[in-house]
Amino acid sequence: MRYLIISDIHANIDALEAVLERADDAWDCLLVLGDLVGYGAEPNLVIDTLLGLSPLAVIRGNHDKAACGLDDGSGFNHVARLAATWTGERLTPANKTFLRELPSGPRFIDDLVEICHGAPFDEDYYIFDGGDAVRGLESATRPLCFFGHTHLPVMFWVKDHAYEGAAPGGQTDTTLSIEEGTRYLVNGGSVGQPRDGDPRAAFALFDTESRELTLVRVPYAVDKAQRRILAAGLPASLANRLALGR
């Protein structure tokens, strides 16, 4: 099975379309790790596009919960809360219901893979450092757990009680062989709002047969996404940050 793993799209249809074009026919099943909406200007178009792809699994993120009314957004900063309110007011009834019915993570995909939004032990927890990763690796129930939420591509793994981690760098894709006897915690990065200083959209591909994992970056029309945000009347800071990857 070949999985396309995407997370944190944040209503950025231009980034999503670039990811789908780049991934092309290199995948069989789609896994979506939450935060379909929030920040960006095209929440309905993003949801409709994803549903048209018949994803194998979609789990909710914290912005999805805020936009559909399951959370009041009190933990958000002012701009994020404003964007969540804006999104909730513009979601179609069907798409709002879809977000409300999304399950929380973790979700078990097969004997090898599970997915979550924040962490295997808490859907809203941010895994930033090695200590967080150790807790995540110890709580995961599958050898390979994909997570999102931080918008930062990173890989953590443990073998023979030795914990390690690495962040992909440079302009090329990063490929990793998933070894037997090793447990992995992987963030493929954000499709719609990267925060590692690289404005390109990020996603992951995983082939269960070859056990090859690839973290991919692809450029997209950032200026077009920025114009959508400004035309929607959302804060200019949400448009500006896309060009910075922050």
Percentage of the chain lying above the pLDDT 90 cut: 95
- Give 12-41 pLDDT, tens digit per residue: 999 999 999 999 999 999 999 999 999 999
Q: What are phi and psi of 108, to 5 degrees?
A: -90, 125
Confidence category of residue 104, pLDDT binned at 50, 70, 90: very high
Strand partners, 214: 175, 205
Residue 103 carries which DSSP code?
Answer: P
Q: Which of 14-23, 67-76, 144-153, 198-207 has the lowest average pLDDT?
A: 67-76
**CA–CA separation, 167 and 194 (whole Å):** 14
In the chain, the N- to C-terminal Cα span, in Å, equals 33
The three-state secondary structure class of 54 is coil
Res 9: pLDDT:
98
Q: What are phi and psi of 43, to 5 degrees?
A: -65, -45
> What would you measure as the largest C-alpha separation in the chain, in angstroms?
53
CATH architecture label of 2-244: 4-Layer Sandwich (3.60)
Helices 78-90 + 43-52 axis angle, to 10: 60
Amino acid (1-letter code) at residue 60: R
Average pLDDT of span 89-105: 98
The three-state secondary structure class of 154 is strand
Res 74: pLDDT:
86
Confidence category of residue 75, pLDDT binned at 50, 70, 90: confident
**CA–CA separation, 81 and 219 (whole Å):** 28
- pTM score over 0.85: yes
